[in-house]
Structure 1
Amino acid sequence: MSLRIIDKHTLHSWLLEALAAPAGPAAPLAIIDVRDSDFVGGHIMTARNVPSSRFSAHLPSLHQSLKNTRRVVFHCALSQQRGPAAAAAYTRYHDMAVATTGADADQEIYVLRGGFTEWQQTYGPDPTVTEDYDARIW
C-alpha cells in the first residue's frame, strides 16, 4: 500500500460528506493530527490528536480503532515530516496486520498536502470544518 497525497479541497469535500453521513459501524473518514504542542490554535473538525512524540506507543490502539474506517488522513503543521512519517508507520503496521490477521486491505491512507498550515489559510475561519481556530496564532 502506498501513501497518497491529497489537497485541502479534497479533504474539505470528504469531511462535509462524512459530517452529513449517518452514524454507523463503518466510518467514511478519520483525520489524524500528529502535531505536538503546536496543536493549539485550531484543528480540522473531527481530527484526533495523536502527538508524534507518542505516536509509536499509540499505533496498535489507533489501528484497532480505525479498523472500520475507509479513509485515514494524516497531517501535522506542514505535512513535511511528522505527518508523512506517521502515515508511513501506520501503513507499515496496517500492511503487517493485513498479512497476518486479514485486516481490511481496502483502507486508504493519505497525507494532507501542506498540513494544517495550508488548511487554515482557506478553511480556518469556517467553524463548520475547523474547531478552536485562533487566527492570531496563524
Structure 2
Amino acid sequence: MSSVTVASLNRISCERLRTLLLTQHTQPGEEKVVVVDVPSRLNKQDPDHIGGHIKSSRHVPSGSLDYTAAELARQLKGAEKVVFHCLLSQQRGPSAALRYQMERERLFGRGSTVTAGGTKEEEGGEGREGGEEGEVKMQEVLVLDGGFAGWQAKYGNDERLTENYNKELWEAEY
C-alpha cells in the first residue's frame, strides 16, 4: 500500500509550472508535463471551468475519478510530471492527485512514482502492466499551489498559458 497521503504530496508553484509548460511547448514530442483540472461537476461550463483554464489541461471532474483513474494512469504513463489542481488546490485537487497516484502504483508498481522529497518510492514488486505498449516512465504527481485562483492572478491574461480567460468574472468573484 502507498505511504503517500494528501499532506505528503509534492506541490509545484505557479512559476515553476509556467516554466515547464513554456519549455514543453518549444520542444515538440511527447508531453512531459500534463495538467489535470479537477472541477466539481461534469459540465465544462461549471463555475470552476467557465472563467478559463490552463492551456492544454485535461478536464477530469472529481466525481468521475473513481471509475476513470485507471484509464487516466494508462493514458499518462509516459508523462514525467502530472499536475492536479482545482480552484484553490486545497481539497479536490490534492484528493484527486492521491487517488491517481494510488491507482498508478497499483497498475505499475510502487516504484513508478516519485514520492515527497523527490525520491523513488521503494519497489513493491513489478508493475502489472509495464510490458504494455509504450514505456512506463518514472512519474512525479504534483498539486498546483494556489490552484487556478492563484494561476489566473499571475497568468490569466497570458494566452500562451491560459485559454478562455474571463478577467471580469474573476474580478467579480475575488
Q: Matches of 1:32 and 1:72 in 2, distance apart?
A: 7
TM-score (norm 2): 0.74
Where does structure 1 lack aligned partners over 5 or more consecutive residues?
Answer: none
Q: Matches of 1:95 and 1:58 in 2, distance apart?
A: 15
- Residue 11 of structure 2 is matched in structure 1 by 5
Percent of aligned pairs sharing the same letter: 38
Higher mean C-alpha displacement, 100-109 vs 67-76:
100-109
- Residue 36 of structure 2 is matched in structure 1 by 32
Q: Is the 8 A contact 1:29 1:70 kept in 2?
A: yes
Q: Deviations over 1:71-115 (max 9, x none)?
A: 100000000000000000011111112224164361111000010
**Equivalent of residue 67 in structure 1, options 54, 77, 98:** 77
**Equivalent of residue 112 in structure 1, options 144, 156, 162:** 144
Q: Is the 8 A contact 2:73 2:100 kept in 1?
A: yes
- Residue 132 of structure 1 is matched in structure 2 by 164
SS in 1 for 2:169: coil
- Residue 83 of structure 1 is matched in structure 2 by 93
Q: Shift in Å at residue 11 of structure 1?
A: 0.3
How many residues matched? Answer: 136
Q: Matches of 2:86 and 2:37 in 1, distance apart?
A: 6
Q: Shift in Å at residue 27 of structure 1?
A: 2.0
Q: Matches of 1:53 and 1:127 in 2, distance apart?
A: 29
- Residue 128 of structure 2 is matched in structure 1 by 101
Runs of 4+ in 1 over 2 A off after TM superposition: 102-105
Q: Matches of 1:67 and 1:106 in 2, distance apart?
A: 8
Q: Matches of 1:91 and 1:105 in 2, distance apart?
A: 13
Q: Which has the larger radius of gyration?
A: 2
Amino acid aligned to 2:18: H
SS in 1 for 2:168: coil
RMSD between superposed Cα atoms in Å: 1.5
**Equivalent of residue 26 in structure 2, options 2, 20, 23:** 20
